[in-house]
Amino acid sequence: MIALRSVLFNTIFYANLIIRMIVLSPYYFLAPRLTAYAIPKNWARSNHWLMRVIVGTTFEIEGLENLPDGSYILAPKHQSFWDTYALLPWLKDPVYILKRELMWIPLFGWYAKKQRVIPVDRGARGKVMVEVLKRTKEELSTGRQLIIYPEGTRRPPGAEPVYKYGIARMYRDLAIPVVPIVMHPGLFWPRRSIRRYPGHFKVRILPPIMPGMDPDAFFAHLIEVSERASDELLLETVERNPHVPLPPTAVERLAELRKLKAATA
């Protein structure tokens, strides 16, 4: 049944995306940008409904009160395609920094350009990165929220963290709060897999890290608070969903956490 439900979900998920982009294009491109943002927000809501109804996967969000007013950097753990869109219904006006190749995808790239995302060549240095920072400051000056994945790419649940120092530079140069977010959607929507698993998990929004710290101290603090919260949530999520198959990284990390917990009990 899981295989059948997974195939059905994936088919409807991508059909939902393509049909919406085609049918709603006239409205999307003629409407003001913020008005048009309702379309991706509603698309995200429809995906949550599809996950619940077809796969049997639900989630809840803790800590919405930790989102500041105005501009801030959202720094989520990144495990799945799910977390690239999941929070859109709760964000007022987010902006992404994404690799420029995504802008070449028909329709998707046009939709992204309408929302004034910031494309970047991942190998870029020097003047190009200066221009990216300039664009970012321009977007944030209007009160937008910047979404950055501190590890840069999807990592399986329980994997040893590999944070990129770029977020510390953003924190220093933009001088706005950074809000860490931990979650384990990768247990239910694994990367590089067509399988989708039923269950329930939490998205935990942590208190913001306010501007003013030394970049090195901020970087160490971000890793420490994010990983501690991620470990706690991994234990909680697996205990609540013992049926979900675990990747080797999660099995290994859980063994370490349980051993540590037993030693300190």
Q: Please give the pLDDT value at position 136.
A: 92
Give the pLDDT confidence of 57-111 residue by residue, as tens digits: 999 999 999 999 999 999 999 999 999 999 999 999 999 988 888 899 888 999 9
Number of domains present in the structure of the chain: 1
135 three-state secondary structure: helix
C-alpha to C-alpha distances, 241 to 157, 183, 192, 235, nearest whole angstrom: 14, 14, 21, 10
Question: Where in the sequence is the domain holding 30, given as residue range(s)?
Answer: 1-264
What count of Cα atoms within 13 Å lies in the side-chain half-sphere of residue 120?
23
* pLDDT level of residue 264 (50, 70, 90 thresholds): confident
Report the amino acid identity of residue 156. P
The whole-model pTM stands at 0.92
Give the pLDDT confidence of 201-240 residue by residue, as tens digits: 999 999 999 999 999 999 999 999 999 999 999 999 999 9
Q: Report the CATH number at residue 201.
A: 3.40.1130
99 or 35: which leads in pLDDT: 35
